[in-house]
Structure 1
Amino acid sequence: MSAENAAVNFSELVNKNKQTLARLKETPRLLLRRRDGEDLVLTTAERAEQDRTVVSAATRMLVAMARHEPGSMELLLDILPDAFPWVRFLPDSDVHAFAVELVDTMRAGESIANSSVVAQMLIAWQHTAEAHADPDVRAALIKDHDEDYGPVPEPG
């Protein structure tokens, strides 16, 4: 959470709900810390809709630029290491594949108002970069495997 967001224990919302909710006038979001579960974020419906509008607009602009502007894919490939430093560990062909998948997934996720698909895709690509960054894992990935181990049995 950024400095502009406040954090409170979930019990404060339960025990002092008016005072806790009044804090939403001072901050866009409240982080509700929970002892027995995942923390929650509380915001107003208006703020959530504003956030969605901004993300949607940025996504549509990026997709339109990437699909229609000459040289935009080269620009996207140039700026990816600034936005995602871990792409430096990916082979060049994977960086291009990542850029294409990022634009396509952002477009698809925006069309169904589901940003979690983009988050999951980013996590998967980051893990791929981590594998390439580890010399032992990378060696195993690029090693020629001439031996066929046959069909994989059904899980038990």
Structure 2
Amino acid sequence: MLTTAARAEMAQTAASVTTRMFVAMMQRDPEARRLVTDVLPEVFPWVEFLPREYVQEFVLELVATMRAADSLENPAPVVLVIEGWRHTAEALADPELAALLAAPTDGDFGPVPEPEAR
């Protein structure tokens, strides 16, 4: 897709303003945070596999990352946060894997050996 630099700059400005307004609302209003947490499954259906406290952590991390990424004009960190939480939901959606992750451990198992060269 081809676009002009001016058009790309307008899209970045619009996204930046939207992000800043959203972050400001989230920082100032507990009701906005609750509402975002409640509607998150409509945007990211996979959050249904996350415990409520994880959803709240996801919202806080997402908002903080959106703010920081906007200051760099780089959306990549936001995508990384979303993908990380999506992978967490995938793991928790698998009962066998979720049980393994929730199982208590007997401490640190030490360093992981380097894989063998092929």
TM over 0.5: yes
Q: Could you report, residue by residue, the CA deviation over 1:73-124 in whole angstroms, capped at 9, with x for unpaired residues? A: 1111111111111111011111010000010000000011111110111111
2:111 paired residue number: 152
Opposite residue 151 of structure 1, the aligned amino acid is G
Percent of aligned pairs sharing the same letter: 43
Whole-angstrom CA distance in 1 between matches of 2:34 and 2:100: 30
Opposite residue 37 of structure 2, the aligned amino acid is L
Return closer, same or farther for 1:77/1:153 CA change in 2, 3 Å cut-off.
Answer: closer
More strand by share: 1
Opposite residue 52 of structure 2, the aligned amino acid is D
Gaps of 5+ in 1: 1-29, 31-41
2:36 paired residue number: 76
1:52 paired residue number: 12
Alpha-carbon distance, 1:69 to partner = 2.1
- Where in structure 2 are the equivalents of 1:65-144 lying within 5 Å? 65-144=25-104
Return closer, same or farther for 1:122/1:142 CA change in 2, 3 Å cut-off.
Answer: same
Opposite residue 115 of structure 1, the aligned amino acid is P
Return closer, same or farther for 1:77/1:149 CA change in 2, 3 Å cut-off.
Answer: closer
More helix by share: 2
Alpha-carbon distance, 1:47 to partner = 1.4
Detail structure 1 runs of 4+ shifted over 3 Å in the superposition: 153-156
Return closer, same or farther for 1:57/1:91 CA change in 2, 3 Å cut-off.
Answer: same
Opposite residue 99 of structure 2, the aligned amino acid is A
Q: CA RMSD in A?
A: 1.6
Whole-angstrom CA distance in 1 between matches of 2:87 and 2:112: 27
Whole-angstrom CA distance in 2 between matches of 1:153 and 1:73: 40
Normalising by structure 1, we get a TM-score of: 0.69
Normalising by structure 2, we get a TM-score of: 0.89
Whole-angstrom CA distance in 1 between matches of 2:85 and 2:68: 17
